[in-house]
Structure 1
Amino acid sequence: MSRASGERPQERSGISRVERVLAAMTATVVGVSVVAFVAVLIGNYAGVVDGSGIWPVVVALPLVGFPIGFLLIIALIVLNAVKRSRRARADS
C-alpha cells in the first residue's frame, strides 16, 4: 500500500517511534508494578506469610518497577521537551 503524501504516519501525527515505545514501556512497567502491589496487599490480607515460591518476586517487583517507571516518565518528558524546542526553533 503506497502513501500519496510520502510521509510516515508518526511524522504526520507528531509522535515518533521512540516516544511510542517509551510510552508503552512506561505503561507496562507501571501497570505490572500496580498489579504486583495489589497482589501483595491481597496476599497480606489473606494471611500469606510464607516467603517461598513466586512471592519474593511479587514483593520485590513494585520496589524496582515504580522507580524504573518514574525514570521512564522523566525520559519521556525530556524527549518531548527537546522535540518541542526543536520544532519551535524551526518554526521561528
Structure 2
Amino acid sequence: MSKNTPSEDVPVRRVDRILAFMSLGLLVLSILSFFAIMIGSSSGADMASGIWPLVGVLVYIAPIVAFALLLAVLIMSFTRRARANRGG
C-alpha cells in the first residue's frame, strides 16, 4: 500500500518546468524557421548566404533536441514519482 493518498501529487520542480518550456520553444522555433524557409524560397531569396543556412539547420536539429528534452522531463518525473511512492 502506498503512504500517499491519490489526491497528493508530486510537486513540479523548476528544472522540469525549464526543460518543458525549452522543448516547447524549440518546437515553435523550428516551425517558424520552416515557414521562413518556405516564404524566403518563394520570394527568391538566396538560401546559400546570410542567415539562411542556420535557419535550414534549425529545421532539422531543433525538433530532435526538443524531443530529447521532453524525454528527459518524462524520465525525471517518472523516477521522482516512483521514489515518492516507494517512500524514500
Q: TM-score, normalised by structure 1?
A: 0.74
What is residue 39 of structure 1 aligned with on the other side? 36
TM-superposed deviation, 1:60: 0.9
Paired positions, count: 80
What is residue 45 of structure 2 aligned with on the other side? 48
Alignment RMSD, CA only? Answer: 2.1
Q: Distance in 1 between matches of 2:38 and 2:76?
A: 35
Report 1 or 2 for greater relative contact order, CA contacts < 8 Å, sequence distance ≥ 6. Answer: 2
What is residue 76 of structure 1 aligned with on the other side? 73
Q: TM-score, normalised by structure 2?
A: 0.77
| 1:60–1:32 distance in 2 versus 1, CA, 3 Å | same
TM-superposed deviation, 1:48: 2.9
The gaps in structure 1 that reach 5 residues or longer are 1-11
What is residue 15 of structure 1 aligned with on the other side? 12
Runs of 4+ in structure 1 off by over 6 angstroms are none
Q: Distance in 2 between matches of 1:51 and 1:19?
A: 38
Q: Give the secondary structure class of the aligned counterpart of 1:15.
A: coil
Superimposed CA distance per residue, residues 30-81 of structure 1 (whole angstroms, 9 cap, x where no aligned partner): 1111111111122223333441111111111111111101111111110111
Structure number having the greater helix percentage: 1
The gaps in structure 2 that reach 5 residues or longer are 1-8
Q: Distance in 1 between matches of 2:70 and 2:47?
A: 34
- Identical aligned residues as a percent: 31
